[in-house]
């Protein structure tokens, strides 16, 4: 059912369901077969980098001109909205003269990738100048196959000046060669303080018999595997297949306490008392608290939490690439990022937007929240996810973690 309270729309609680749970990292059953068919159809067949295009990027960008138009593909409810309008895009048009055709057409990563990959392989335009996708296998494929442009960072001075450290030089795209972050989020733990038998501080609390039958875990095996790795003392980005197997053993041990492996419904389970502790996304917990669920508390486990990123990229054959760079640069200012962030409520990629939201927008609930503007301690305990080297490695991960959920 579509929520009627505008506050429920802010923060993407409903949109995040499809983004984070459907075929992002956990490809199972028919989804796995569909992805394999897609990769085979694109000529990838389990290995990346076969479609690299040799481009003199310095010469390319020197030859490009602003056109005055931008086609922007994003997720539903993932930008500021007011009375049917998008203030940040209106600000952009007023400042630059660039009109924007904004389309909320991305429902989840894998099907969108499957749609655009054949056109990109055939070196055809997909009709968008910016796409927003979550770091994971699909983003790796886009980069390794030469399906997205290398960015001209000389045209992105605001990114260099204002971008948070946690969005610079990500392991899936070193030096932000092809991408800049739109929004980020944490995957940690959350617990119901009213019902839990003790304060939750660690993944090891999930093994405590006192929580038996009241532990929730995610059914996305990227999120699940990341939790298992952190619980066993391993940073996901540095992990090996042997680490994955040990993490799966820990997760299997925890099964006796787990009531279910959930999609977005985990937040409902926490609030209605079915679960007392669960894996959780930071944006969901912000929204739950903002809407009165004061007994729900987000926890950065002692072992650390995961951080993920949704990324703006420019597809090859984009018709308006300079206009796309102008938006990216415009977005990375405290004012514009602040306007977007005050509506979206995930982790802002522009730390200086905090002061703008506090002073100009007068919204301390957002500006003061560590779930939107993380503390130094939260940053220090945040870990990037593993970047798969090839499709065979990706399949191995799935073969190790899918049985935890399915058994």
Same domain, 226 and 151: no
Could you tell me the two tokens for 289? Answer: 């608290």
Domain boundary, last residue among 254, 277, 307: 307
pLDDT at res. 264: 82
Of 49 and 4, the structure prediction assigns the larger pLDDT to 49
Task: Decide if pLDDT at 338 tops 80.
Answer: yes
For 82-112, write each residue's pLDDT tens digit: 988 999 999 999 999 999 999 999 988 989 9
pLDDT at res. 108: 86
For 164-202, write each residue's pLDDT tens digit: 999 999 999 999 999 999 999 999 999 999 999 999 999
Residue 104 forms part of a structural domain: yes
CATH number at residue 323: 3.40.190.10
Tell me the residue length of the chain.
Answer: 407
Same domain, 20 and 84: yes
Identify whether the C-beta of residue 57 lies closer than 8 Å to the C-beta of residue 150: yes
Mean pLDDT, all residues of the chain:
88
The average pLDDT across 346-351 equals: 97
pLDDT at res. 53: 63
Task: Decide if pLDDT at 122 tops 60.
Answer: yes
Q: First and final CA of the chain: distance in angstroms?
A: 31
> Distance between CA atoms of 79 and 272, rounded to whole angstroms?
29
Same domain, 204 and 162: no
Q: Which phi and psi (to 5°) does residue 124 adopt? A: -115, 150
DSSP H helix total and E strand total for the chain: 18, 10
Same domain, 28 and 108: yes
For 9-49, write each residue's pLDDT tens digit: 323 333 333 223 332 333 333 344 444 444 444 433 333 34
Q: How many CB atoms lie within 10 A of CB 236?
A: 23
Same domain, 10 and 112: yes
Residue 178 forms part of a structural domain: yes
* Total domains present in the chain: 2
- Could you tell me the pTM of the whole model? 0.86
Same domain, 136 and 84: yes
Of 291 and 7, the structure prediction assigns the larger pLDDT to 291
Q: Which of 156, 105, 194, 101 is nearest to 350 (CA)?
A: 156
For 240-280, write each residue's pLDDT tens digit: 999 999 999 999 999 999 999 998 889 999 999 999 999 99
Residue 405 forms part of a structural domain: no
> Distance between CA atoms of 383 and 1, rounded to whole angstroms?
34
pLDDT band of residue 8 (cuts 50, 70, 90) is very low
Residue 407 forms part of a structural domain: no
Same domain, 35 and 126: yes
Same domain, 135 and 245: no
Domain boundary, last residue among 307, 330, 357: 307
Structural domain range at position 108: 6-184+309-372+390-397
pLDDT at res. 257: 96
């Amino acid at each position: 059912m579509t929520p009627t309270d505008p506050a429920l729309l802010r923060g993407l609680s409903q949109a995040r369901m499809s983004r984070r749970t459907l075929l992002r990292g956990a490809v199972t059953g028919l989804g796995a077969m569909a992805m394999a068919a897609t990769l085979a159809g694109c000529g990838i067949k389990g290995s990346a980098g076969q479609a690299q295009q040799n481009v003199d990027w310095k010469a390319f960008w020197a030859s490009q001109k602003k056109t005055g138009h931008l086609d922007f593909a994003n997720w539903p409810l993932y930008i500021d909205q007011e009375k049917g309008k998008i203030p940040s895009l209106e600000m952009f048009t007023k400042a630059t003269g660039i009109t924007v055709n904004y389309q909320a057409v991305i429902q989840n990563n894998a099907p969108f990738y499957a749609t655009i990959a054949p056109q990109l392989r055939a070196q055809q335009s997909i009709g968008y100048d910016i796409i927003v996708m979550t770091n994971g296998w699909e983003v790796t494929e886009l980069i390794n196959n030469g399906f997205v442009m290398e960015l001209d960072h000389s045209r992105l001075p605001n990114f260099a000046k204002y971008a948070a450290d946690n969005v610079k030089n990500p392991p899936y795209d070193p030096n932000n060669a092809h991408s800049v972050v739109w929004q980020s989020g944490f995957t940690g733990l959350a617990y119901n303080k009213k019902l839990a038998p003790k304060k939750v501080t660690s993944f090891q609390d999930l093994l405590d018999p006192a929580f038996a039958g009241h532990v929730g875990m995610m059914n996305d095996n990227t999120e699940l595997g990341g939790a298992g790795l952190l619980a066993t003392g391993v940073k996901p980005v540095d992990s090996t297949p042997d680490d994955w197997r040990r993490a799966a053993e820990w997760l299997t041990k925890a099964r006796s306490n787990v009531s279910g492996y959930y999609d977005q419904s985990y937040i409902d389970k926490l609030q209605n008392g079915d679960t007392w502790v669960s894996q959780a996304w930071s944006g969901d917990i912000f929204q739950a608290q903002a809407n009165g669920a004061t007994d729900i508390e987000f926890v950065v486990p002692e072992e650390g939490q995961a951080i993920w990123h949704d990324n703006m990229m420019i597809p090859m054959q984009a018709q308006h690439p300079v206009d796309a760079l102008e938006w990216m640069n415009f977005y990375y200012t405290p004012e514009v990022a602040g306007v977007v962030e005050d509506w979206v409520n995930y982790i802002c990629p522009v730390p200086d937007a905090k002061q703008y939201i506090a002073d100009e927008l007068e919204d301390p609930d957002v500006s003061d929240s560590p779930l939107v503007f993380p503390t130094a301690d939260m940053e220090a305990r945040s870990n990037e996810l593993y970047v798969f080297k090839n499709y065979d490695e990706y399949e191995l991960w799935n073969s190790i973690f899918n049985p935890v959920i399915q058994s």
